Structure 1
Amino acid sequence: MEEDGDVGEEYLFKIVLIGDSAVGKSNLLSRFARNEFDTNSKATIGVEFQTQVVEIEGKEVKAQIWDTAGQERFRAVTSAYYRGAVGALVVYDISRRSTFDGIKRWLEELATQNDGTVATMLVGNKCDLENIREVSVEEGKNLAEAEGLFFMETSALDTTNVQIAFETVIREIYDNISRKVLSSDSHKAELSANRVSLVNGAGSKQHQFNFSCCS
């Protein structure tokens, strides 16, 4: 469905937001998609998603970003929720250590539910709460390096790094699919995002991002 004759391929990437309840996943999404923040945000029930358009190298890229409840009682949605995801933001609250301690479990679930590699960023949200911080920037960075993830601290409240966090994941997906197209004998990209390589250039190590509130 091309409304403009100059529009070529359209890219649609599914990205999931995961992490414990009340770490700010829904507000991160609303800040990115609508530049809104709800101080009275209620827990997400079931699944919600927003589609955001980003232009990369003159091409229109649509990111379909899914948000679901972090509470255990809603875990039954996970299989369908993760299916086809090519990107993930794994979110914790820097002022609640328990949400950081749960990150490895979320990463394990992501790996279990998706049989391919997913462009993944570790996000330490609520970095505006510096005065009650329980997780240091260094701890977040170290975990990201150990797991081979991108890392960024954000604040959905004051907008710190929200845009760049989402756009970094979207660009990583796009870059890897572009590389796959260039190296593929087929004429069409395999956009079924369980086959996206995360190798950057000739190396096998992902680029590391370390954006804290203070940087």
Structure 2
Amino acid sequence: MAFLAWSVCAHPHATGLLPETRLKFRPPPNSLFAVLLRSPWWVSLLIAAVLGLVAAALLPEAFRVVGALSGFPFIVIAAIAAQRQWRLPSAARVQQTQEAVSAMAWPAFQALLTDGLRRSGIEVQPAPAGDAVDFVMERQGLRTLVSARRWKSARLGVEPLRALQAARQADNTTADVPRAVCICLGGFSDTAADYARAHGITLWQASELALAMRGVTLPAPKPAR
């Protein structure tokens, strides 16, 4: 069966650098496999259990073992989904991260994000000349240009992404075009989101920042006056 060909390996996250368990092939986004990977891990485990019970109850004795094994692919999916979801920050941590970094000035935010990235084994380098890129992430030879200085904007338009894309195309540090990340807590306009999708630019908001800063001690929120 096809599940025997599923091989799991350590691979950079879609952001280009954050670690994640990832398959060597990309399933269609609306396939059962992809939907279950996005669902709580126990959903796949429940399906496997139901298939096993149905096989035990309805199939002839000679075929019960084979029928029960039909649930094995869902056990594999449950294991992959559980590993992915175990790495993700909680909703409370995402909210805490958003509140903390929203109150920071740029130097403090840059220092905290740099600390989080380095804890994940990512090298942070100074930005090349120009205003479009604030710093560069690198891991295992993979470069990612990061635009982060507008992280507190209420909503980011397409122009910063155009500038970031131009910086990517002008970068000749390696033979490959570097990846790109743009950070904005308030989100992106529809035009900006479409542009990012068309050019392969990864957009970070609070949840991605919380993942990048996992393990970092966030400053306590200031008391309300």
Same topology, TM > 0.5: no
Between Structure 1 and Structure 2, the one with more strand by share is 1
Task: Decide which structure has the larger Cα Rg and report it.
Answer: 2
TM-score range, shorter chain: 0.3 to 0.5
TM-score by length of structure 1 reads 0.34
